[in-house]
């Protein structure tokens, strides 16, 4: 994949002749690996309890919590029937997922307040440790991706 | 008995997982590959064994982490550590802050910068270049990120090239990721009686 076709470049609007291109071309291997990481959290072979659609919906929701509408839309387009989960304002009733949604929102938005009890609550809801790690990796990666894109957008402004 | 560390420190605590790590002798071939376990390298931390539950991500995450923090060129090693420290302060990841403050102090052979950061947080009195880097990393780490064109102007005024800014963006963002793993999946602890 061309480096300019990766999610980070596409969403930030970086192309071969845009202002951020020169800096981006100093880190092509790194940014390729960044895309491989997105693929690993969104579309792994071993999905555990979380389908590719649900992962895309959570990714969209985390992007939205971070105020990144464009990234949220890109992920929501892959979320199938559960794209509505992408909207943090929508009061979805998915009883079996409510505690997972609350956990994901807290890890993305109030990271510093996460405590041991938040993990215990998931374990008591019979979510396996492997599935907890999968949720946290997805959340943590998207939180990273949002910030890579925010930085690229700044570097890509034309009014320099 | 161990107790949880709540204050920022350069004295690296132990990381105690909140979930059960993968047992090395029960790991699948795919997990072993992601863990990079070889006959000559069988020492694996609890942290990496926890991440091995999601081996597909671990496998791509380790080389990405190393590239962002250690690849030559661009922003200096210690300035990348400063980005990591800024993120860890915002997310209050005591463990990450300790590891990377310790690295910063060792690279610089000076504890001054991290002493000031731990004492005064965002108001730390730093050199203009360090201040611009640290401020940017704090703002980028908020949710939502709070970086504005004036913050990029401040980095450029402090002498950073665009490729150095990109390295700072990457190292800070990477710790938005690492903090959420370390701070969420475990506790920083010390044995009773051990020095704070």
Q: For the segment B34-76, what is each residue's pLDDT rounded down to a tens digit?
A: 998 766 777 899 999 999 999 999 999 999 999 999 999 999 9
State the CB neighbour count (10 A cutoff) for residue B62. 16
What is the pLDDT at residue A96? 82
Residue A145 corresponds to which tokens in the numbers above? 């991706």
CATH assignment of A3-155, among 3.30.420.40, 2.60.120.10, 1.20.1290.10, 3.40.50.970: 1.20.1290.10
ipTM: 0.97
Residue carrying structure tokens 């309890």: A49
What is the pLDDT at residue A94? 78
Longest dimension (CA), chain B: 54
Between chains, do A119 and B54 touch, taking CB under 8 Å as contact?
A: no
In angstroms, how far is the first alpha carbon of chain A from the final one? 29
Which parts of chain A sit beneath pLDDT 70? 159-160
Distance CA B176, CA B33 (A): 26
* SS3 state of residue A7: helix
What is the pLDDT at residue A95? 79
Residue A42: name the closest of A29, A55, A54, A30 by CA: A55
Residues 10-39 of B with CB under 8 A from A: 18-20
Examine the pLDDT at B127 and tell me if it is beyond 90: yes
Residue A87 corresponds to which tokens in the numbers above? 């909207």
Between chains, do B143 and A144 touch, taking CB under 8 Å as contact?
A: no
CATH assignment of B74-181, among 1.10.3720.10, 1.20.1290.10, 3.20.20.140, 3.40.47.10: 1.20.1290.10
Could you state, in order of their start, the residue ranges of all structural domains in chain A? Answer: 3-155
Angle at A138 between CA A4 and CA A10, to 5 degrees: 15
Residues 97-126 of B with CB under 8 A from A: none
Taking the Cβ of residue A49 and every Cβ of chain B, the question of whether any pair is shorter than 8 Å is answered with: no
Whether B171 contacts B80, CB under 8 Å:
yes
B167 CB contacts (<8 Å, ≥6 apart)? A27, B68, B74, B75, B79, B80
Examine the pLDDT at B136 and tell me if it is beyond 90: yes
Taking the Cβ of residue B165 and every Cβ of chain A, the question of whether any pair is shorter than 8 Å is answered with: yes
What is the pLDDT at residue A100? 96
Between chains, do A111 and B179 touch, taking CB under 8 Å as contact?
A: yes
Which among A44, A136, A147 is the nearest to B181, CB-wise? Answer: A136
What is the pLDDT at residue B194? 76
Q: Which residues of A touch B64 (CB under 8 A)?
A: 30, 33-34, 36-37
Residue carrying structure tokens 């302060």: B89
Q: pTM score, two decimals? A: 0.97
> Model confidence over A113-154: pLDDT tens digits?
999 999 999 999 999 999 999 999 999 999 999 999 999 999
* SS3 state of residue A71: helix
* SS3 state of residue B196: coil
- Which spans in B41-90 are helix H? 46-51, 55-70, 77-90
Percent of chain B at pLDDT > 70 equals 96
Which among B57, B91, B176 is the nearest to A112, CB-wise? Answer: B91
Between chains, do A155 and B68 touch, taking CB under 8 Å as contact?
A: no
Longest dimension (CA), chain A: 53
What is the pLDDT at residue B20? 98
What is the pLDDT at residue A160? 57
Q: Where in chain B is the domain with CATH 1.20.1290.10?
A: 74-181
Residue A58 corresponds to which tokens in the numbers above? 């959570």
């Amino acid at each position: 994949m061309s480096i300019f076709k990766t999610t980070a470049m596409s969403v930030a609007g970086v192309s071969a002749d845009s202002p951020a291109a020169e800096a981006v071309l100093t880190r092509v291997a790194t940014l390729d690996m960044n895309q491989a990481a997105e693929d690993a959290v969104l579309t792994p072979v071993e999905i555990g309890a979380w389908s590719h659609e649900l992962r895309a919906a959570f990714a969209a929701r985390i992007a939205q919590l971070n105020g990144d509408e464009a990234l949220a839309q890109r992920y929501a387009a892959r979320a199938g029937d559960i794209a509505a989960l992408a909207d943090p304002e929508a009061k979805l009733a998915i009883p079996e997922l409510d505690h997972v949604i609350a956990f994901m929102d807290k890890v993305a938005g109030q990271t510093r307040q996460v405590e041991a009890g938040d993990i215990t609550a998931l374990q008591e809801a019979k979510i396996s440790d492997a599935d907890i790690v999968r949720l946290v990796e997805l959340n943590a990666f998207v939180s990273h991706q949002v910030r890579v894109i925010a930085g690229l957008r700044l570097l890509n402004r034309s009014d320099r | 008995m161990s107790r949880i560390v709540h204050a920022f420190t350069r004295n690296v605590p132990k990381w105690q997982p909140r979930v059960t790590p993968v047992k090395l002798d029960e790991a699948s071939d795919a997990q072993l590959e992601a863990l990079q376990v070889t006959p000559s390298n069988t020492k694996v931390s609890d942290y990496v064994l926890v991440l091995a539950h999601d081996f597909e991500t671990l496998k791509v995450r380790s080389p990405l982490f190393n590239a962002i923090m250690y690849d030559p060129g661009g922003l200096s090693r210690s300035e990348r550590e400063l980005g990591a420290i800024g993120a860890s302060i915002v997310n209050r990841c005591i463990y990450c802050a300790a590891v990377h403050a310790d690295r910063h102090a060792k690279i610089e052979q000076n504890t001054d910068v991290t002493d000031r950061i731990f004492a005064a947080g965002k108001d730390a009195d730093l050199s203009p270049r360090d201040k611009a880097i640290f401020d940017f990393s704090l703002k980028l780490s908020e949710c939502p990120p709070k970086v504005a064109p004036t913050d990029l102007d401040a980095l450029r005024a402090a002498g950073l090239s665009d490729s150095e800014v990109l390295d700072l963006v990457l190292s800070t963002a990477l710790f938005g990721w690492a903090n959420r793993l370390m701070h969420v999946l475990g506790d920083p602890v010390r044995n009773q009686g051990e020095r704070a």
